[in-house]
Structure 1
Amino acid sequence: MGKITKGIAIVTLFFLSTVSLIAQDAKKEQTLDVIIKNLQKQHNVQFNYAEDVIKSITLKPPPKNSSLKQALVYLEKTTPLQFSLNNSSIVIVKPKEDFFLCGYLKDKDNLQPIVSATVQGFKDVAITDVNGYFKIKISKPSELITIRYLGYKTINRVYNQFLTSECGSVFMLPDFQFLSEVLISNYITAGINKFNDGSFKVDFKNFDILPGLIENDVLQAVQSFPGIQSIDETVSNLNIRGGAHDQNLILWDNIKMYQSGHFFGLISMFNPQITQQVSILKNGSDVSYTDGVSGTISMQTDKNINNVFKANVGVNLTDVNLFVDLPTGKMGSLQVAGRKSVSEVLNTPTYNNYFERISQNTEVDNNVDNTINSDKTFDFYDASLRWLYKISENDEIRLNFITVSNQLQFDETAEINNTQQSRTSQLNQNSIAGGLYYKRTWSTKVKSTFEVYETDYKLKSVNANVLESQRFLQENIVSETSLKLQTQYSLNNTMKLSGGYHFVETEITNLDDVDTPVFRILISEVLRTHGAFAQVNYSTLNKNTTLVLGVRYNYLDKFKKQIWEPRFNFSQRFLDYFTVEILGEFKHQNTSQIINFQNDFLGIEKRRWQLSNNMDIPVITSQQLSLGVNYSKNEWLVSVDGYYKNVDGITAQSQGFQNQYEFVKSKGSYSVTGLDLLLRKQFSHFNTWLSYSLMNNLYEFKDLEDGTFPSNFNITHAANFGLSYSNNNFKSSIGANWHTGKPITIPEGINPNSEQSIIFGETNAEKLEDYIRVDASVQYDFKISNKVKAKAGVSIWNILNKENQVNTFYRIKNNEINQSVQQSLGITPNATIRLYF
């Protein structure tokens, strides 16, 4: 009973205290004079003040149980007065005076005013005028002032370090990063901009929303651009202006990646929380880039050092993910991000749809007769890290690391000699990469950068044939080391020069190993490339004219082969609202993906990387030229690009033929003539767009019977329509994707001289049915507390549940031609909740 009585007493005391506090808070306001007299009696202190200072000030009194210090802090926050405690005497001074900072912002080199720069204090913000003049309100002498302007080093300085007695000059140092000017803002939706170097940039910090996406999936988002499609709706098969996926250069903080997706291509493997910006270059790329004869997708993490702890955690119907941005002192910050699939805990409808999609027409889905597949499991994860550190005012480094894994496993069971036997088959796809970047600013005109990376990719399959007691092991391993040194020099405000050296060593290993009968073939090849490049950037002061001319020299030491690659970019604004662009480039690449057999690697990820040998597998080269015109006025945008692209040195094995050329080894080329069009209109809270692509993509294989015929990636017409609505914290979007079907070859019969071969008709003369898909997304941001924010969203992919055919092929079964059809994703919902700290 003693414990019970004591507990009741504690609860009663707590209740009475709470009631007392509530009653205290509920008291009516009092004059400051009355509050001061009560505090003098309570704490035995003396307040000194003039009567007119506290006159007419009324407020609620501080909590009764507050200490003297707590009461004074409370009074300072709730009144415009300052309270200075000295022993037992408290001086009350007049209302706090406002401080102002004014000045003229100028370039330190030429003393020219800097217009439209941002000057920001704790509460107030100002933009410099045509004379570089600014004025902002300051709350206290120790307040931090930040001054930013594109192309200049940011100033972070407290108020009392400025010349505050008069509006003096404030000088900014140029930061020669050679950043391109924005040509068109909100190209498709908010956060997507087009620059005058021909590139497109997606800024996920300011990104709006796209139909069917609730997470900022990097490689799904780029498919909203005209000229970029996925022939089978995966991110591991992106086609930029009719090119194959292996012809895309994919960079993560300048590290080349040989893997791009989770779920073997259905979602991007790059964590959107740490990947803040994506650049897309379809033509006219910088000479510092090599590889990617079809296009470049360059992802970047945040380049600013964060001095405040930030974190967020989220979960959706495929994975749970975490992101942390941690300051490491005043001069550095560390970002860490990770994702893990939820399959070990729960098989959601989204997960099940994805798994069903990737396993269609593969050994995972359909095994040989009398063999049953069971215990199918799939798991993925990724982890990435970025560390920034500013060694000095002129030196900074960046460290990157990323690791990615996809794991598929299932059991094959069959009855052998009246006994059930099981063996496990599995597929692993992994990437691990790290990079170091160092930047040195020698002077206001000269800057150098040094970067080195190591990237490794491994695809491994163990295919267990339980009927034959056979194990078939396959491996595809890529290991690449890169070193690049670049120096940039600014001649003046209109012209900049850059040049550098680039070394790349690529090693690719392929293994096929069978235990019964014993068969093993291991091929490992290495290729080293030396590159030297130089470029001049010219831009008029008003930025209406931009010209970039560059050349890259490549030397492939194994083949003693020299390749020269000129590149150029010209942009001219005219009649205020029009811009014309002319872009061109020569590029090459030494790697490609081939398919030996359609059932390699369990048929899931059957493409393996290989190196050029300069014979039957040539070095791939490309030439591209494009002409574009843009019109932007009154929230209307019309953008038209016509282009011609020729790619030489491709092989039939790299194109994924599933007709009479499936096992043929032949060298060839393809040429594309096309048109990319975008219409966009913004009004009030709505944004609507329509993108359209027209292309004629033709192969030329001189060794093949047909010679010239439509490419496997010849999507003649493609259109993307979207409508989004944003208002305060609510965002929604709905859109439709349509394109003509993939080219296919129709069989005409079975070869009478070989019962296992099909006689095909004219190559790629027919097409699959048109593809159409309608998607929608809804997102809402809200506050949980002052320190915790949240975002919730729901999306539906393929609302109409349209059964789109993305591929078909033919095989002979029981002396008949059997058609296999691969379907797109059906209706697939997703939902997410994310907390920001």
Structure 2
Amino acid sequence: MPQRRLRHFLFLTGLLLCMLPHTGVAQEGSGQTRPLVEVLRALESQHQIKFSFLDKDLQPLQVTLKEGLSLDAALEEIRLQTQLEINRLDPRYFTLSKPQRISVCGRLLDNFASEALAGATIEVMGSNQTATTDADGNFTLGEVHRDATLRLRFLGYKTRYLPASQLLRSQPCTTLVMSMQYQQLDEVVVYKFLTSGLSREPDGSIRMRPADFGLLPGLTEPDVLQSIQALPGIKSIDETVSDINIRGGTNDQNLLLWDGIKMYQSGHFFGLISAFNPYLTETVTLIKNGASARYGEGLSGIIRMDTFDEIRRTYFGGTGFNLISGDAYAHVPFSDRIAFQFSARRSVTDLLNTPTYDLFTERAFQNTEISTLGGADSDQIAGREESFYFYDFSGKLLVDLEDRHRLRLNFLYIRNSLFYGETLSDNSENQSDLDQQNFSLGGRLASTWNDRWTTEVSGYLTQYDLDSYYLTESNNQQLFQLNQVKETALKTRADYHPMEGIRWSNGYQFLVTGITNISEVSRPPFESRIKDVLYAHSAFTEWEYEGPEKRLLTTAGLRLNYLTNPGDFQQALLEPRLSLRYKLTPHLALEALGEFKNQTSLQKVDLEQNFLGIEKRRWILADQDSLPVVTSRQASLGLHYDRGNWLAGAEGFYKEVNGITTDTQGFQNEAQFNGEIGAYSVYGVETLLNYKSEAWSTWLSYALNRNTYRFPDLDPSEFPNNLDIRHTASMGTNYTRGGLKLGIGLNYRSGRPYTEPEPEPNAVNTLVFPNRINFQPPNSSRLPEYLRADASAVYSFALSETVQASVGASVLNLTNRKNILNVYYRLSDQNEVERIESISLGLTPNLSFRIRF
């Protein structure tokens, strides 16, 4: 019995020994993935051979070999798995080296559903090599440089960057998963706000995307500065884009940014048309309150325009025209890392007179020197010559220095030019020239150092010029005026993400602003040259927190400004900022916003005759004497509801602005000459009700404001603000089906205040020289209410597989209602009081045609 057990034990032991792997490479790598260097050492020992290679070339490589392979079979398997070049120098010595070109392959899957991603794009950075995945998510690329980087992209998923050496072609190919793209901090709360392409952001700002823009009544093209006037709390009291009033503030209290560059000119046709091409503008952000601490100035609001910032693989562009101007734009990629964008627009007004141009001309030049040249001697005019045109062009160079660094260079040039001349019967001439232009140049370097740190360094140079020349030969009088602004800026910012949902930003900014004002008169001789310079140093810090399930989003910041000029003016200002949004329910959110701000560059409103009466505003700088630094504080609280097809919101606000002067407010009574310093406060409520569906969007908005001046040195010391529009309402609807878009809307507001003269015979004060008008209490009268209906229609169609076209028609002021925008009074040469009225645009049609490719 024991012998039988011994025999069984010996038999099982022998069987187990037979089952053990053989020594050599099969033992070392039997179905296991092992470092290549370790496998080569085993082959050297088994076959008495030697391999020559660089350790750094082979160190990261691993292979999987089957059992029982011969030397040649093992070397071939290594060659296939690593794409190394293996050369046999003699029966014993071999060399291994990396080839410069390799083949790569892979399979892309969705990391959520583990499904194949068909149609994903794989690009070899720095070359023209590309591939797309097939129905199973597979791709293959040959002759790829070993040190190249591959970019893997699929719509809705995060872009991945991988070294080509990690995707060596082998069996099976490497499986890669793509993560879905989430933008937590940039989440859009309302996807359709009045019309497509408008959205309300969690921080309280409004964002417009012109590429997705629907249709607003009266517009056939997405004019940036016209479109934002459809929003509650924003209007233009004189129907222009160069005089936008946000929550009762003047236009110069708005901060207008184009790719981070401050703009001092915003309109063409002296304010009737926006000067910025919307087709290369990717987003427009409007901030009425609670601005980030990185923004300075802009007491009333911030309008920020950002052009396309991504390098597209293929070009795109378009061209079009309407009854005022024609334009073209394009995005041209030179490689995966370099692209150039440009846009250009020019008016046709000096070549072709259209009904739209005639109506715009009548509106822009009414009650100005252009419309009244000749005066009492108009019957003596033997001939007239006039020329008006405008144009703008912009460019942007996009360079991705590496995967983590982006360089952007921008320039923009805007110009309006007007000439008007008269030849009288005695061969004398009256000549008027007005030229307005803005040139801006900027650059930005954005860097992503890791998942936590990003930095940005930017700078710009901008120059605005407004000059006019007026010659009267009969009186041998010449008048020259110039208003020039030069500003240089350097800005830095660093963002740190210590953990998910938290961002900490810090930055420093330096600005130098110089403003020159010149007036020269030949007869009687008079000359005035004033140049002011102001230096601004600013530092800011800001925290952003997003709570669990995104119920709470808050941003709190602090900005410190130190202002100085070459004289003895020095001032430090501390400005807290706050933005808080809390979801009470999944569909109802409470929003609280607050900010302190200051402003140093303002616009002085000159007499009606200056700059031909067309551009009456001159930019000036605060000097802490006759013009102090203007400061403001604002707070607002709102409730916003969004569920299904319905959107509703109500927001109450209070704003107080100190340090204003009568020179900057556009008074047209006795206060316009005094330059008193005061303040204004405005409070109100803004409401919006919007129904939206796939085809329809209908809205009704209403705003109630009460805007009051306080000037201690005037009598009375408190009276309604020049922009005190108590009631504003708008309603409209647009319809989209296929390529057809229709829109119709109605705008209403109560009359603005103005000042009337005393009744006769006390209308004129003859006891002073020169004589002046005796006015009633300031802003004690009101204009009639304003009412305007607009309509638009656009139809889009395909000219080919790659070319789209659209035709559009619009009508402003459908009812041809005569709206009085402003009234002021002046003394005639006969010492009589004249009433001057500014009238709105009448019924104004426009047509457009566009091509996109």
Query: TM class, shorter-chain normalised?
Result: 0.7 to 0.9
1: CA distance, partners of 2:162 / 2:589: 37
**1:104-115 paired onto structure 2 within 5 Å:** 104=111
Q: TM-score, normalised by structure 2?
A: 0.80
The residue that corresponds to 1:818 in the other structure is 834
- Please name the residue that 1:579 is paired with: 589
Distance of 2:852 and 2:154 partners within structure 1: 27
Task: Quote the Cα distance in structure 1 between the aligned partners of 2:211 and 2:163.
Answer: 25
The residue that corresponds to 1:360 in the other structure is 366
Letter in 1 for 2:520: D
The corresponding residue for 1:611 is 621
Q: What are the superposed Cα offsets for residues 110-150 of structure 1, whole Å, 9 maximum, x if unpaired?
A: xxxxx9999672699xxxxxxxxxx9935762498524669
Deviation at 1:279, TM superposition (A): 0.1
* Pairing 1:829–2:839 present: no
Secondary structure of the corresponding residue to residue 799 of structure 1: coil
Matched letter for residue 516 of structure 1:
R
Aligned to 1:592: 602
Q: Indicate the percent of aligned positions where both proteins have the same amino acid.
A: 37
Q: Which amino acid aligns with 1:626?
A: S
Question: 1:476/1:155 Cα in 2 relative to 1: closer, same or farther (>3 Å)?
Answer: same
Change in CA separation of 1:323 and 1:578 when aligned onto 2, cut-off 3 Å: same
CA 338–119 in structure 1, closer or farther in 2 if over 3 Å, else same:
farther
- Do the aligned partners of 1:148 and 1:155 also contact (CA within 8 Å) in 2? no
Gaps of 5+ in 2: 1-105, 123-132, 142-150
Q: Distance in 2 between matches of 1:448 and 1:162?
A: 37
> Is the 1:103–1:167 Cα contact (8 Å) retained in structure 2?
no
Q: Is the 8 A contact 1:101 1:164 kept in 2?
A: no
Does residue 467 of the first structure (1) align with residue 474 of the second (2)? yes
Which residue of 1 is the match for residue 210 of structure 2? 204
Per the alignment, residue 137 of structure 1 pairs with 135
Aligned position for 2:119? 121
Matched, 1:758 2:773: yes
1:307 maps to: 313
**8 Å CA contact 2:297, 2:599 repeated in 1:** yes
Q: Is 1:804 aligned with 2:793?
A: no
Tell whether 2:398 aligns with 1:388: yes
Judge conservation of contact 1:596–1:663 (CA < 8 Å) in 2. Answer: no
Q: Report if aligned partners of 2:709, 2:721 keep a CA contact under 8 Å in 1.
A: yes
The amino acid of 2:668's aligned partner reads Q
Q: Residue type matched to 2:371 in 1?
A: D
Deviations 1:555-591 (A, max 9, x none): 0122221000000110001222100000000011110
Take 1:104 and 1:602, find their aligned partners in 2: how far apart are those partners? 66
Give deviations 1:34-73, integer Å, cap 9, x for gaps: xxxxxxxxxxxxxxxxxxxxxxxxxxxxxxxxxxxxxxxx
Cα distance in structure 2, aligned partners of 1:498 and 1:118: 39
Please state whether the residue corresponding to 1:748 is helix, strand or coil. coil
Contact 2:108 2:138 in 1 (8 A): no
CA contact (8 A) 1:121 1:138 kept: no
Structure-1 residue corresponding to 2:35: none
Counterparts of 1:684-699 in structure 2, within 5 Å, are: 684-699=694-709
1:147/1:156 contact within 8 Å kept: no
Displacement, 1:314?
A: 0.5
In 2: Cα distance, 1:347 partner to 1:203 partner: 33
User: Which has the higher mean CA deviation after the structures are superposed, 163-172 or 426-435?
Assistant: 163-172
CA distance in 1, matches of 2:607, 2:513: 24
Deviations 1:592-617 (A, max 9, x none): 00023121100000100000001110
2:108–2:176 CA contact under 8 A, matched in 1 = no
Structure 2 Cα separation of the partners of residues 446 and 264 of structure 1: 44
Q: Which residue of 2 aligns with 1:426?
A: 433
Q: Establish whether residue 663 from structure 1 lines up as the match of residue 673 from structure 2.
A: yes
Matches within 5 A, 1:244-323: 244-323=250-329
> Which stretch has the larger CA shift, 139-148 or 425-434?
139-148
For residues 160 and 791 of structure 2, what CA distance do their matches in structure 1 show? Answer: 40
Q: State the partner residue of 1:777.
A: 792
CA distance in 1, matches of 2:107, 2:794: 41
Mean Cα deviation higher: 630-639 or 513-522: 513-522
Q: CA–CA distance in 2 between the matches of 1:512 and 1:123?
A: 62
Could you tell me which amino acid in structure 2 is paired with residue 550 of structure 1? Answer: G
**Cα 1:190/1:408, change in 2 over 3 Å:** same
SS across alignment from 1:141: strand
Q: Do the aligned residues in 2 keep the contact of 1:412 with 1:425 (CA within 8 Å)? A: no
Q: Distance in 2 between matches of 1:784 and 1:383?
A: 27
Q: Deviations over 1:318-348 (max 9, x none)?
A: 0010111100211121110000001232111
Do 2:187 and 2:201's aligned partners in 1 also have CA atoms closer than 8 Å? yes
The 3 A distance-change label for structure 1 pair 789 and 173 is closer
3-state SS of 1:205 partner = helix
**Relative to 1, partners in 2 of residues 1:730 and 1:817: Cα closer, same or farther, differing over 3 Å?**
same
Which of 614, 635, 656 is residue 645 of structure 2 equivalent to?
Answer: 635
> Alpha-carbon deviation of 1:815?
3.8
Give the structure 2 partner of residue 222 of structure 1: 228
SS for the counterpart of 2:670 is: coil
Q: Give the AA of the match of 2:589.
A: T
Residue matched to 1:567:
577
Tell me the amino acid that sits aligned with residue 811 of structure 1: R
- Residue in structure 2 matched with residue 794 of structure 1 by the alignment: 809
Q: Deviations over 1:785-836 (max 9, x none)?
A: 2232111111111111111000111122334322111100111111111112
- After superposition, the Cα gap between the structure-2 partners of 1:577 and 1:682, relative to the gap in structure 1 and judged at 3 Å, is same
Partner of 1:708: 718
Q: CA separation in 1, counterparts of 2:114 and 2:187?
A: 14
Normalised to the residue count of structure 1, the TM-score between the two structures is 0.82
| Aligned mates of 2:651, 2:118 — CA distance in 1 | 40
Q: In 2, Cα distance between the equivalents of 1:383 and 1:377?
A: 20
Over the residues paired in the alignment, what is the CA RMSD in angstroms? Answer: 2.7
Distance 1:138 1:369, change over 3 A: farther
Residue 748 of structure 1 is matched in structure 2 by 758
CA distance in 1, matches of 2:548, 2:446: 27
**1:725 and 2:738 are equivalent in the alignment:** no
- Structure 2 matches for 1:472-511, cutoff 5 A? 472-511=479-518
Whole-Å separation in 1 of the counterparts to 2:171 and 2:255:
51
Give the letter for the 2:294 counterpart.
S
User: What is the DSSP-based 3-state SS (H/G/I as helix, E as strand, rest coil) of the residue aligned with 1:467?
Assistant: coil
Cα 1:162/1:259, change in 2 over 3 Å: farther
Cα pair distance change 1:605/1:164, threshold 3 Å: farther
Q: Structure 1, residues 358-407: CA drift from partner, whole Å, max 9, x if none?
A: 10100000133215583222100000111211000111111110000001
Q: In 1, Cα distance between the equivalents of 2:687 and 2:528?
A: 49
The residue type paired with residue 721 of structure 1 is M
Tell me how far apart the structure 1 counterparts of residues 612 and 409 of structure 2 sit (CA, whole Å).
Answer: 36
How far apart, in 1, do the equivalents of 2:397 and 2:184 lie?
23
Give the corresponding residue for 2:87. Answer: none
Aligned to 1:9: none
Match of 1:81 in 2: none
CA contact (8 A) 1:117 1:149 kept: no
Equivalent position of 1:41 in the other structure: none
Counterpart Cα distance in 2 of 1:118 and 1:302: 31
Residue 455 of structure 2 aligns with which residue? Answer: 448
For residues 174 and 335 of structure 2, what CA distance do their matches in structure 1 show? Answer: 33
Alignment CA distance shift 1:636-1:786 (3 Å): same
1:335 correspondence with 2:341:
yes
